[in-house]
A and B are shown apart, each in its own frame.
Chain A
Amino acid sequence: MRIARPPRLPGFRSGGLAPIVVILAVLLVLLSARQPDFFSPPSLMSFLGRSAPIVLLAAGQYFVIVSGELDLSVGSLVTAQVVVAARLIDGDPSAGWPVVVLLLAFGVAVGLVNGLVTTWLRVPSFITTLGMFLILVGAVYLWSDGAPKGGLSEEFRLLGRSAFEDVPALGRIPYALLVLLAAAALALVLTRSDFGRTLVAVGGNPRTAELSGVRVGRAKTMAFVLSGLAATLAAVLIGGYSGVSFQAGAGLEFGAITAAVLGGVALGGGRGSVVGAMLGALTLETLFTLMNFYGVSGALEPAVQGAIILFAVAAASFRVPSR
């Protein structure tokens, strides 16, 4: 080997997982100091179940961000899905699964539109998905005449609020956690697939990717579809857990973006990991729980998110320079 090549700092490759793991560990230590009960299995399981939607959204957002784009429409998509589900189900227990399938199709459709408008019409995704955000908000209001109609059936809400009870050692395992684990495993497989690796290349250098035979537009569109699917799963869990509301998904897009950035996913694309994004979401949830225990007003959450984004992006610019 020749000189002028910096040696590897163990475990601290830029874009690696070390920083987020350290931050999460520190927060968890602080949390356990304040609230020793937190690590009891029931409390921990319920925390993980509660966090599942934002972790799912962060995973979805990872694919979009790493491809060099941004998806601002996921929060309003969650709201729309919950409101649509309530109106279609309207208390009818047999409508549960068909409606879930319909929601998945809707999530895919929204992702497709986001992707095609961004890649075919060359509208920056920031604008595309901001437009989608507004369209979904407006459409949902219009469709429901200003107040959510109908209601979710118990069957539909099962995934979001029920659990396997009386599991040895752990107590109860929320279904939401299982949904999350399954989705996380799938996401991990995807990021290691040909699609996942070329997607990172697309975000890192679209020209190189294109000239190496990658269908750049298709890859980015796929990323938006994955984000739409993640939002659908999150909507099913949120609907089950907290019921129908126009506020169901409010602000989740920023939560997901903050989580991804905190987890080392570079805005602008080409760098990061889906595990990092998901750990970022858990870190964010832990931080909010901690703030809650310390009696900090929940109203501060957006400000904290904003500060985290600024800090994380600034920190990411201190990397080992190329030659």
Chain B
Amino acid sequence: MSGLLPSPLLALRGIGKSFLGVRVLDGVDLQVRPGEVHAVVGENGAGKSTLMKVVSGVHQPDEGTVEFAGAQRTFRSPREAQQAGIGIVHQELTLLPERTVAENVWLGREPLRRGLVDRGAMLDRAAGLLASIGEGSLPPDTRVGRLGVAQQQVVEIVKALALDARLLIMDEPTAALADHEVDQLYTLVRRLQEHGMGVLYVSHRLKEVFDLSSRITVLKDGRAVTTLDTADTSADRLVRHMVGRELSSYYPDRAQPQELGPVRLTVRGAGNRKLRGIDLRLRAGEVLGVGGLQGSGRSALARALFGAAPFGTGQVAVDGAPVRLRSPRAAMRVGIAYVSEDRKGEGIVAEQSVLDNALLAVRAVRAVPPVRVSRGARTARVRELLAAVELRAAREDQEIRFLSGGNQQKVVLARWLALAPRILLFDEPTRGIDVGARSAIHDLVRRLARDGAAVLMVSSELPELLGMSDRIIVMRDGRIAGELSAGATEEEVVALAVGTAREAAG
């Protein structure tokens, strides 16, 4: 490093950390300059979360030093790190939904007047901070529970600002955001940058990393493999560092026309509180992509087809026979499976074993269609499926919460495959999953289609949507705004999603 560069805000030197004798971080060096967005990338299990926890005071390093704002520091708790000026925006938001924006910002440090909370000052100061980052339109007396995920993130950031944070850690900040919300976040991050804030940006999404960061540190197996200047590197090179593989081999081949089978699922004029006038046909062997902004009804569509938030009107037919999808069980009975976008909240039972998780659906319906089989045969089948999805787990009686996101998703998939479903609904199948496991999931989805399943896949990631789908429908305001064929561009999808394109007739 030349002496012309500003001195680092944060300097980690030789950070090492072990849990129960297993080395999770090994000699990690990393520097963040003031006003720099420094991205940290790596597969799940590479040590990103642990590294962020060391910086934010949750964990104390076994080896190495943390230097912050020119002084060597040992943060014994998150509170000490906060007070020193390190803010964190968590992947899962940690705000109190029943309190207002201002109350959340000042939680535990409410301004006082004569021993009582000074509500006026609280609101004023929160409004001031919001305005300073260009979010003045957000009223500080709104209940946080009423805000969308993107706005809640703004509140988290303001909370950090209120603590005079000089370094902000953002852990997968876009995981729950729609594309246009991501743009707002970009603006916000750049504004923080102008204020001289250093940002440690953890993300799986390479596009964001390239859009935002000035430098990128790649973690692999607990070591900092390299730190690259973003301007001098390419996505291919980055992925090579992360997994030793080229980016171009990303998506499996699409279905050939002769691979498409009969229409499996037909929906006519269906609607509910969140959806209106849904018409669609899903054929065996195809992957139908569903795009749209957050709240456009793309997830609601998958949930309606699974009976989790059923259609109130319209007709649905499976293999030509009319069905009523009033509950998940009813949907399962006609061969429909659903993988939720919220893996932790709706996909896994965190404290049960891998095997219990994989067996959950067959146990619930007590059979492997089309015939009932013995418990032994059933378990054997599920074991085969766990092997078929290439699960990487130490033992099948290990609690699923200790697995990486990608491996958890493979278990969820095996759970459904045990029921031999003919229609699979995926809502964000690769959300929060590392690059290596993503392609494995993509391959699995395509393999299922090739084996004759009809697949509907919701995705907020345009490259995934375009790379995986044989056909794409785009949702807007609870309706299907239009349909695109496989060769569509990102611009066409976005145009339909935000409504600048002319809607398809009907």
A residues whose Cβ falls under 8 Å from a Cβ of B: 1-7, 9, 15, 194, 197-198, 200-201, 204-205, 207-215, 270-271, 320, 322-323
Chain A residues whose CB sits within 8 angstroms of the CB of B365 once the complex forms: 213
B364 A213 Cβ-Cβ under 8 A: yes
CA distance A210 to B392 in the complex (A): 26
Residue of A nearest to B419 (CB): A213
Residue pairs across A and B with Cβ atoms less than 8 A apart, 19 shown, are A3-B23, A3-B222, A6-B19, A194-B363, A194-B366, A197-B356, A198-B360, A198-B363, A201-B349, A204-B351, A208-B349, A209-B360, A212-B361, A213-B329, A214-B360, A322-B401, A323-B45, A323-B402, A323-B404
Chain A residues whose CB sits within 8 angstroms of the CB of B60 once the complex forms: none
B351 A270 Cβ-Cβ under 8 A: yes
Contacts A7-B21, A271-B351 supplied; 4 other A-B pairs, CB < 8 Å: A2-B45, A4-B22, A210-B328, A323-B45
B19 A204 Cβ-Cβ under 8 A: no
Chain B residues whose CB sits within 8 angstroms of the CB of A215 once the complex forms: 329, 364
Residue of A nearest to B345 (CB): A207
Chain B residues whose CB sits within 8 angstroms of the CB of A5 once the complex forms: 22, 394, 402
Chain A residues whose CB sits within 8 angstroms of the CB of B352 once the complex forms: 197, 200-201, 204, 270
Binary CB contact string for chain B from 215 to 231 against chain A (1 if under 8 A, 0 otherwise):
00000011000000000
Q: Nearest Cβ distance between residue A316 and chain B, in whole angstroms?
A: 12
Q: Nearest Cβ distance between residue A111 and chain B, in whole angstroms?
A: 22
B8 located at the interface, meaning its Cβ lies under 8 Å from any Cβ of chain A in the complex = no
Contact status of A197 and B363, CB under 8 A, knowing A5-B402, A211-B306, A213-B329: yes
B347 A208 Cβ-Cβ under 8 A: yes
Q: Nearest Cβ distance between residue A299 and chain B, in whole angstroms?
A: 38
Binary CB contact string for chain B from 22 to 62 against chain A (1 if under 8 A, 0 otherwise):
11100000000000000000000101011000000000000
B350 located at the interface, meaning its Cβ lies under 8 Å from any Cβ of chain A in the complex = yes
CA distance A204 to B351 in the complex (A): 7
Return the contact of B415 from the options A207, A212, A320, A322 (Cβ within 8 A).
A212
Contact status of A211 and B221, CB under 8 A, knowing A5-B394, A194-B366, A271-B351: no
Q: Nearest Cβ distance between residue B399 and chain A, in whole angstroms?
A: 8
Q: Nearest Cβ distance between residue B489 and chain A, in whole angstroms?
A: 34
Chain A residues whose CB sits within 8 angstroms of the CB of B20 once the complex forms: 6-7, 9
Binary CB contact string for chain B from 339 to 357 against chain A (1 if under 8 A, 0 otherwise):
0100001111111100011
A213 B346 Cβ-Cβ under 8 A: no
Main secondary structure of the interface of A (DSSP, over half): loop
CA distance A5 to B50 in the complex (A): 12
Residue of A nearest to B362 (CB): A194
CA distance A15 to B356 in the complex (A): 15
A4 B360 Cβ-Cβ under 8 A: no
Return the contact of A213 from the options B19, B332, B351 (Cβ within 8 A).
B332
B360 A208 Cβ-Cβ under 8 A: yes
Binary CB contact string for chain B from 354 to 378 against chain A (1 if under 8 A, 0 otherwise):
0011011101111000000000000
CA distance A62 to B502 in the complex (A): 60
Number of residue pairs across A and B with beta carbons under 8 Å? 108
Q: Nearest Cβ distance between residue B300 and chain A, in whole angstroms?
A: 15
B349 A205 Cβ-Cβ under 8 A: yes
A4 B366 Cβ-Cβ under 8 A: no
CA distance A210 to B415 in the complex (A): 14
CA distance A194 to B401 in the complex (A): 21
Chain A residues whose CB sits within 8 angstroms of the CB of B24 once the complex forms: 3-4
B338 located at the interface, meaning its Cβ lies under 8 Å from any Cβ of chain A in the complex = yes
Return the contact of A4 from the options B222, B338, B348, B364 (Cβ within 8 A).
B222
Residue of B nearest to A219 (CB): B364
A322 B402 Cβ-Cβ under 8 A: yes
A2 B221 Cβ-Cβ under 8 A: yes
CA distance A211 to B402 in the complex (A): 22
B residues whose Cβ falls under 8 Å from a Cβ of A: 19-24, 45, 47, 49-50, 221-222, 306, 308, 328-329, 332, 338, 340, 345-352, 356-357, 359-361, 363-366, 392, 394, 401-402, 404, 415
Chain B residues whose CB sits within 8 angstroms of the CB of A198 once the complex forms: 360, 363-364
Main secondary structure of the interface of B (DSSP, over half): mixed
Chain A residues whose CB sits within 8 angstroms of the CB of B308 once the complex forms: 210-211
The 5 lowest CB-CB distance pairs between A and B, nearest first, are A213-B364, A322-B401, A204-B349, A194-B363, A214-B364
Q: Nearest Cβ distance between residue A323 and chain B, in whole angstroms?
A: 6
CA distance A3 to B364 in the complex (A): 34
Residue of B nearest to A198 (CB): B363
Chain B residues whose CB sits within 8 angstroms of the CB of A271 once the complex forms: 351
CA distance A213 to B333 in the complex (A): 9
CA distance A133 to B20 in the complex (A): 46
Contact status of A4 and B356, CB under 8 A, knowing A197-B363, A211-B306: no
B361 A6 Cβ-Cβ under 8 A: no
Chain A residues whose CB sits within 8 angstroms of the CB of B345 once the complex forms: 205, 207-208
CA distance A208 to B350 in the complex (A): 10
Contact status of A211 and B338, CB under 8 A, knowing A7-B21, A194-B366, A323-B402: yes
Q: Nearest Cβ distance between residue B404 and chain A, in whole angstroms?
A: 8
A3 B45 Cβ-Cβ under 8 A: yes
Residue of A nearest to B19 (CB): A6
CA distance A1 to B45 in the complex (A): 11
Contact status of A4 and B47, CB under 8 A, knowing A204-B351, A209-B364, A322-B402: yes
Residue of B nearest to A207 (CB): B346
Return the contact of A209 from the options B22, B47, B221, B349 (Cβ within 8 A).
B349
B356 A200 Cβ-Cβ under 8 A: yes
Q: Nearest Cβ distance between residue B365 and chain A, in whole angstroms?
A: 5
Residue of A nearest to B221 (CB): A3
Chain B residues whose CB sits within 8 angstroms of the CB of A204 once the complex forms: 349-352
Residue of B nearest to A201 (CB): B349
CA distance A198 to B401 in the complex (A): 17
CA distance A198 to B24 in the complex (A): 34
Chain B residues whose CB sits within 8 angstroms of the CB of A2 once the complex forms: 45, 221, 392, 404
CA distance A24 to B479 in the complex (A): 63
CA distance A207 to B45 in the complex (A): 27
CA distance A322 to B79 in the complex (A): 21
CA distance A208 to B411 in the complex (A): 13
A6 B349 Cβ-Cβ under 8 A: no
Chain B residues whose CB sits within 8 angstroms of the CB of A214 once the complex forms: 360, 363-364
CA distance A270 to B399 in the complex (A): 12
Chain B residues whose CB sits within 8 angstroms of the CB of A3 once the complex forms: 22-24, 45, 47, 221-222
CA distance A198 to B360 in the complex (A): 7
Return the contact of B402 from the options A6, A197, A201 (Cβ within 8 A).
A6
Chain A residues whose CB sits within 8 angstroms of the CB of B348 once the complex forms: 205, 208
Chain A residues whose CB sits within 8 angstroms of the CB of B361 once the complex forms: 212-213
CA distance A3 to B306 in the complex (A): 37
Chain B residues whose CB sits within 8 angstroms of the CB of A201 once the complex forms: 349, 352, 356-357, 360
Return the contact of B364 from the options A9, A200, A212, A322 (Cβ within 8 A).
A212
Chain B residues whose CB sits within 8 angstroms of the CB of A4 once the complex forms: 19, 22, 24, 45, 47, 50, 222
CA distance A208 to B329 in the complex (A): 13
Chain A residues whose CB sits within 8 angstroms of the CB of B328 once the complex forms: 210-213
A1 B360 Cβ-Cβ under 8 A: no
Chain A residues whose CB sits within 8 angstroms of the CB of B392 once the complex forms: 1-2
Chain B residues whose CB sits within 8 angstroms of the CB of A270 once the complex forms: 349, 351-352
